[in-house]
A and B are shown apart, each in its own frame.
Chain A
Amino acid sequence: MAQKKITLPLTDAKVQDLKAGDRVLLSGDVYAARDAAHKRLLERMENDEELPIQLEGEVVYYVGPTPAKPGQIIGSAGPTTSGRVDKYTPALLSRGLKGMIGKGYRNEEVKTAIQKYKAVYFAAIGGSGALLSKKILSETIVAYEDLGPEAVRRLTINDFPVTVINDCYGNDWYEQAAEVYR
């Protein structure tokens, strides 16, 4: 099956080239962040405080890995359910976030914001954390270390396999794909 290769960070041009259903191999840096980290980022934004990470052109991966064993770069590291951070996502997109990797549905507000800010939502295979850990070349904690598995990490990924679910044109691959086999 044809796969597009994309090097991060994302730009408007790269995002506009992606369509729902495209299978993509991502390489470059992403931020790992889950529920608790999103909550803290939003609290800082609401208080007009500086964020511990820059969001312009960045991609967030919704992941809380298992601890690395000695000698490992990272433990098991598959996507978590994206819908849990829907509440926070439009604000992050308004600050320049360009992409998200997770699994599962996004709400209407997020889909609208994806179009408005020219962003993209990718899904990775949920529950394939051992396989996906092989696509991660480095891991550094950059903020909120006290959150443990929910700390913000900088990950370098290589040929990380994802599928475009929501593109900047308003398409939703989950809806389109299910229609075919219903």
Chain B
Amino acid sequence: MKNIHVDTITENVAAMCQSASIDLGDDMIQAFQSSLQKEKSDIGQDVITQLLDNAEIAQKERMPMCQDTGMAVFFIEMGYDCKITCGDLYDAINKGVSQGYGDGYLRQSIVRDPLDRKNTGDNTPAITYVEMVEGDHLKIRFTAKGGGAENMSRLQMLKPSDGLEGIEDFVVESVRLAGPNACPPVIVGVGIGGSFEKSAYIAKKSLLRSVGERHVEERIARLEEKWTEKCNQLGIGPQGMGGTTTALDVKIEVQPCHIAAMPVAVNIQCHANRHKEVIL
């Protein structure tokens, strides 16, 4: 049995919140650079160049790359042989978010009540999902999900008879409707199967994979490539200014589902694709 003190969790969470907002991942930088070679529109190329400049300024000046530093979402993998000591996991995470967002001069974007809309002032509560797995480790995966792209996400209970074609249409249509609102070039997380809520969960979780990292299953990997291409034929382009780079990647996760059902969730992620992970 491995013991992990709550303070270790809090410290790591605080650090992840800050670095995710400031340091764009290498996968994203590479995706920008390779899209620059392929992008057909001048204005589209110019937008991507400015996004690369933005990432550089953010890193150099330790300033958030985007003013929307997001809602803190955590996917935790907890080993059966791991024990959290001196407190509660959820509290430790919230404390880390509060510290990370406060000390890092990150924007507080969470309201206590969706109807009253009073800001909580410390970007908590975080959204935390825990999965139990073999082992004695605690893996913390974090994403700072911005509102602009999240707002353009969709979920539909399709019919089994809609088939793969129906799913593809729904995915591409979601990216079309999101258009410039979602800050393209986007990364598209797709969850197929499960239940109503599980499809959304796996759609978001799929976004934790690096850009360019294909699904382990060949048939899913091929769909990811095909749908990325389809999205790029929409003409939307970087920031909706027209072009051939609308999506940098499509990520798909699948789950068993009911004989009557075909839930499909599309979770859209903007180009400020912030995700960090740590294993304790």
Contacts of A72 in B (CB 8 A): 63
Whether a CB of chain B sits under 8 angstroms from the CB of A166 is no
- Residue in chain B with minimal CB distance to A63: B67
Q: Are B235 and A129 in contact (CB under 8 A)?
A: no
Q: Considering the chains assembled together, what is the distance between the CA atoms of A125 and B32 in angstroms?
A: 15
Whether a CB of chain B sits under 8 angstroms from the CB of A126 is yes
Q: Are B67 and A129 in contact (CB under 8 A)?
A: yes
Given A105-B180, A178-B240, A180-B235, A126:B50 Cβ within 8 A: no
Number of interface residues, chain A, beta carbon within 8 A: 46
Whether a CB of chain A sits under 8 angstroms from the CB of B79 is no
Q: Are A179 and B235 in contact (CB under 8 A)?
A: yes
Q: Are B180 and A174 in contact (CB under 8 A)?
A: yes
Q: Are A127 and B66 in contact (CB under 8 A)?
A: yes
- Residue in chain B with minimal CB distance to A67: B105
Whether a CB of chain B sits under 8 angstroms from the CB of A65 is yes
Given A77-B67, A182-B233, A182-B235, A131:B57 Cβ within 8 A: yes
Say how far A147's CB is from chain B's closest CB, in angstroms. Answer: 8
Q: Are A66 and B64 in contact (CB under 8 A)?
A: yes
Write out, one digit per residue, whether chain A residues 118-145 have a CB within 8 A of any chain B CB (1) or not (0): 0000010111111101100000000000
Q: Considering the chains assembled together, what is the distance between the CA atoms of A64 and B146 in angstroms?
A: 12
Contacts of A105 in B (CB 8 A): 179-181
Given A78-B66, A103-B181, A181:B40 Cβ within 8 A: yes
Q: Considering the chains assembled together, what is the distance between the CA atoms of A78 and B239 in angstroms?
A: 13
Say how far A125's CB is from chain B's closest CB, in angstroms. Answer: 6
Q: Considering the chains assembled together, what is the distance between the CA atoms of A84 and B57 in angstroms?
A: 29
Q: Considering the chains assembled together, what is the distance between the CA atoms of A131 and B67 in angstroms?
A: 11
Contacts of A149 in B (CB 8 A): 67, 107-109, 119
Say how far A56's CB is from chain B's closest CB, in angstroms. Answer: 28
Q: Considering the chains assembled together, what is the distance between the CA atoms of A36 and B270 in angstroms?
A: 23
Number of interface residues, chain B, beta carbon within 8 A: 52
Q: Considering the chains assembled together, what is the distance between the CA atoms of A47 and B179 in angstroms?
A: 36
Contacts of B235 in A (CB 8 A): 177-182
Interface set, chain B 26-72, CB cutoff 8 A to A: 40-43, 46-47, 50-51, 53-55, 57-58, 61, 63-69
Given A64-B107, A75-B107, A103-B181, A129:B40 Cβ within 8 A: no
Of the stretches B80-88, B156-164, B241-249, the one at the interface is: B241-249
Write out, one digit per residue, whether chain A residues 144-182 have a CB within 8 A of any chain B CB (1) or not (0): 000111000000000001010000000001101111111
Q: Are A178 and B242 in contact (CB under 8 A)?
A: yes
Contacts of B147 in A (CB 8 A): 80-81
Whether a CB of chain A sits under 8 angstroms from the CB of B106 is yes
Contacts of A129 in B (CB 8 A): 54, 63-68
Given A125-B51, A126-B270, A127-B54, A181:B67 Cβ within 8 A: no
Contacts of A147 in B (CB 8 A): 119
Whether a CB of chain B sits under 8 angstroms from the CB of A83 is yes
Given A64-B107, A128-B50, A134:B233 Cβ within 8 A: no
Q: Are A78 and B67 in contact (CB under 8 A)?
A: yes
Whether a CB of chain B sits under 8 angstroms from the CB of A104 is yes
Say how far B223's CB is from chain A's closest CB, in angstroms. Answer: 22
Which residues in B have some Cβ–Cβ distance to A below 8 Å?
A: 40-43, 46-47, 50-51, 53-55, 57-58, 61, 63-69, 105-109, 117, 119, 121, 146-148, 151, 179-183, 233-237, 239-244, 270-272
Minimum-distance CB pairs A-B, first 6 = A177-B242, A104-B181, A182-B235, A181-B235, A126-B183, A178-B235
